[in-house]
């Protein structure tokens, strides 16, 4: 196992992790921004008001993109196992 293999493996792992977390994070960001604008306009400064819509949005994103995320994760895991079998030594 050489350094090129290790670097490419961790680059792939970080890319998959970023890709899988992106839908939930982006939807949480958009909902948080919308709630913050609503709070600024109405001058309601309730801390719990931001939490519930974000949780609902993130759970909705996981329900909407969950199948795609699981497929991508299983594909990456299968790729890792194939690479492990092909390692010298």
How confident is the chain (89 residues) per 10-residue block, as mean pLDDT?
86 96 95 92 85 93 95 95 81
Residue with token string 């993130």? 58
For residues 31 and 27, give the distance between their C-alpha atoms in angstroms, rounded to a whole number: 6
The candidate with the shortest Cα–Cα distance to 39, out of 56, 53, 23, is 53
What angle do the packed helices 3-42 and 48-85 form, to 10 degrees? 170
For residue 71, what pLDDT is reported? Answer: 97
For residue 2, what pLDDT is reported? Answer: 81
For residue 79, what pLDDT is reported? Answer: 93
pTM, to two decimals? 0.78
For residue 89, what pLDDT is reported? Answer: 62
DSSP designation for 19: H
For residue 84, what pLDDT is reported? Answer: 84
For residue 47, what pLDDT is reported? Answer: 80
Q: Which sign does the torsion angle of CA 76, 82, 84, 87 carry?
A: negative
> For the chain, what are the domain ranges?
3-77
Q: 73, 16 in Cβ contact below 8 A?
A: yes
For residue 17, what pLDDT is reported? Answer: 96
The vertex-73 CA angle with 67 and 79, nearest 5°, equals 135
């Amino acid at each position: 196992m050489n350094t090129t293999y290790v670097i490419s493996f961790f680059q792939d792992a970080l890319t998959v992790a970023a890709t899988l977390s992106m839908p939930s994070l982006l939807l949480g960001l958009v909902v948080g921004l919308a709630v913050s604008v609503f709070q600024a306009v109405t001058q309601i400064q309730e801390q719990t008001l931001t939490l519930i819509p974000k949780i609902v949005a993130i759970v909705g994103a996981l329900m909407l993109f969950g199948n795609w995320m699981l497929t991508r994760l299983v594909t990456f895991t299968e790729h890792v196992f194939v690479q492990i079998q092909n390692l010298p030594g």
